[in-house]
Amino acid sequence: MDLAVQTRGSWDLVLAAARWAEDRGLVALALPDHYLERGESPERPAFDHLVHLAGLARETSRIELVSLLSPVTFRHPAVFLKMAITLDEVSSGRFTLGVGTGWLTEEFTMFGLPYPDLATRFEMVEECLAYLRAGFSQQGTGFEGRHFGLAPFDPQPQPQNLRLLVGGGGKRKTPALAGRYADEFNIYACPPDQYVAKRELAEKTAADVGRDPGSILFSSASPAIAARNESDYRRLLEMLAGRTRSTPDHIEMVYRRRGYPHGSGSQPAEMLAALEEAGCRRFYPQMFLDNPRDFDLILDAYRP
């Protein structure tokens, strides 16, 4: 399994993380798209991830740069299209665009962004993905939906190697969207049997619409609290508990139930191996830490 990393924060932090990722041989760096960093905590800085990714495209040379992922109501599909093609150019074909429904209610209400009901947001995501596929095509077929429309023309320029990502934890709609449109399907970490079910539904949908199921990269992500040394693990766990106003025992209970690879000793690598057996080919530990020096502790715990 390939290892990547997802992080967020100031420019200095994400740049340090990107350089660290290249030095450690990781395949990709992903940033989430949130206008609030943590729920109802507007005092914590949050930045536009596509702007950060554009900067990282010029400061890195090898790793893939991934939007994991952007709410559909943040930008019109035309804006996604042009920003993604531009990032594809700036990065020399190393960019992956992820589009999803959005879920952090506070950032929509606090910034006054549109936030229709979930069923409507799923409709918008599917239309956005279809719009983007039409825009990436040289056929100039265009697209017409209830929410969005693209005239039948070839909007230049064409991308070099731009990929689309669908992600989330949904059991039916998200895997179906991934099978129809995605180059990468990021199934949020879950017990292996659930991962298999979502992967197989995406593969079946891909086959049904004439796509090669083998062309889809199946990946996963989860909060990263892991270390080989028990004392390091406990320190990271206490830090997370303080930031989330929770307790270490509650966090561990939730992580066990949800199947997030975590812990000390060999446990994180063993849990990751179980995800790999379920078909996961890339894992993004979500290292939302203020000190990049802790990244090494976490990464080493996931490597057998």
Superfamily of domain 2-302: Luciferase-like domain (3.20.20.30)
> What pLDDT digit, counting tens, does each position of 197-209 carry?
999 999 999 999 9
Alpha-carbon distances of 289 from 89, 198, 213, 223, rounded to whole Å = 30, 30, 35, 10
Contact 162, 97 (CB under 8 A): yes
Question: What are φ and ψ of residue 93, in 5° steps?
Answer: 80, 30
Alpha-carbon distances of 148 from 142, 143, 145, 234, rounded to whole Å = 11, 8, 5, 49
Torsion 31-37-43-46 (CA) sign: positive
Does the pTM of the predicted model rise above 0.75?
Answer: yes
What letter does residue 159 receive in the DSSP assignment?
Answer: P
- Cis ω before 157 (30° cut-off from 0): yes
Distance CA 211, CA 106 (A): 37
Q: Provide the pLDDT confidence category of residue 40 given band limits of 50, 70 and 90.
A: very low
Alpha-carbon distances of 180 from 64, 98, 130, 138, 297, rounded to whole Å = 23, 14, 9, 19, 38
What letter does residue 27 receive in the DSSP assignment?
Answer: S
Tokens representing 194 are 């659930």
> What pLDDT digit, counting tens, does each position of 84-120 carry?
999 999 999 999 999 999 998 988 998 999 999 999 9
